[in-house]
Amino acid sequence: MGKNLSIATISLLLVLASTNAEQVFDVKSYGAKPNADITQALTKAWKAACAVAGSKVVISTGAYKLGLVTLLGPCKGAIEFNLQGTLQAPSDVASFNGKDGWVIFERIDGLTVSGGGVFDGNGQLAWEKNDCNKQKNCNQLPINIRFDYVTNSIVQDITSKDSKFFHINLFECKKLQFQHVTITAPADSPNTDGIHMGHSSQITITNANIGTGDDCISIGDGNQDVSANQVTCGPGHGISIGSLGKYENEQPVSGIRVTGATLSNTDNGVRIKTWPSSPSGVASDIHFEDIVMNNVGNPIIIDQNYCPNNQCSNKSPSKVKISNVSFKKIRGTSSTKEAVKLICSESVPCQQVVLSDIDLAYKGGGGSTTSSCANVKPAVSGKQNPPACINKL
């Protein structure tokens, strides 16, 4: 009898432990109401949840207004941000007081962001004021969701909509996974990169659906060990490494793998871009494989003379060294005649570049696709349409 009792007691303790394992902090308990501003309610709920081990902040279905909020760790244990409703950012940029983020997750280990909800950046007014194409040092507009110093975390089943600037930005993150994330903004929304990352490592993006006004994914300096699998991109500017070499002391980029992507009606396909007249830098071990292009401009491109809106000096070549790069099993249609463009630096030519099984047809009338190369001798195998390096620049 005593033995059975002890088993029953242990079972009860386990049940209690599991119920205590995740305490729920619903923002409604802190005064949140649909169609009203919940900035204070969310801040209080987060603070309370962060102070206990194993907690969940819940924002249930409905639309809520939310101002700038920093959800700060470290927390006592794992914490979940469960958004089922829609958060609406202020449309007026002035209310952010020059800050560059709207919802900021900072210094958290063991974060889950989930729930199927929407971060609506209300970016339409901000896009009209964006002058970054004219000025190098333009006003910083708020990013929809920032992850700063976030580790061992997962972001799944959420949507970022109409961000004023980048949708999702990673800085100094490690072991962060994105699954089933949707990002949406019009093709003409400026600088609305889908997922941008800097100085981060062990990042995985799986089954993302990204349509926006800039790069679907952009990988800046200091990133190591990044994989993107089954990403759908379009509209947008493609999937990009860089731009690199804009600033002094940039950190190397290495270990990047993009597989199983589909790009439709994008300005570019898969690309590596570096600025001319740049300080020294390194980009290596970068691989693009099994990618479908549907009516894509510049499907395969290395551009070491990247200089949008003539905002830079072309006086000297880029000093960012690109090596060990492969483009494999890339097929579909190009909206530009020049489907493969490998324009490398005169001062540090690209090395170990591989083109394997390329089949890109020209979508327009009048002839087939072409290719051009400068300062690179790619290793070629399998089908080559267009033939590699038709035009040597």
Phi, psi of 105 (to 5 degrees): -100, 125
Sign of CA dihedral 339, 344, 349, 350: negative
Domain residues of the chain, as ranges? Answer: 21-127+142-185+197-213, 215-393
Told to judge if 214 belongs to the known catalytic residues of this protein, a careful annotator would answer: yes
* Equal CATH topology for 21-127+142-185+197-213 and 215-393: yes
Taking the CA atoms of the chain, what radius of gyration do you get in angstroms?
23
CA 271 vs. chain centroid, Å, equals 15
- What pLDDT is stored for residue 136 in this prediction? 67
In tens digits, the chain (393 residues) has pLDDT values of 445 556 656 665 555 554 456 899 999 999 999 999 999 999 999 999 999 999 999 999 999 999 999 999 999 999 999 999 999 999 999 999 999 999 999 999 999 999 999 999 999 999 998 887 777 677 789 999 999 999 999 999 999 999 999 999 999 999 999 999 999 999 999 999 999 999 999 999 999 999 999 999 999 999 999 999 999 999 999 999 999 999 999 999 999 999 999 999 999 999 999 999 999 999 999 999 999 999 999 999 999 999 887 777 777 999 999 999 999 999 999 999 999 999 999 999 999 999 999 999 999 877 899 999 999 999 999 999 999 999 999
Told to judge if 109 belongs to the known catalytic residues of this protein, a careful annotator would answer: no
Helix (H) / strand (E) containing 147? strand 143-156
Q: What does the alpha-carbon distance between residue 29 and residue 34 come to, in Å, rounded to a whole number?
A: 13
Q: Which two tokens stand for residue 105?
A: 């997750």
Of 193, 215, 237, 303, the active-site residue reads 237
Of 193, 214, 221, 267, the active-site residue reads 214
- What pLDDT is stored for residue 310 in this prediction? 77
Q: Which amino acid is at 28?
A: K
CATH classification code of 21-127+142-185+197-213 = 2.160.20.10
Class of domain 215-393: mainly beta
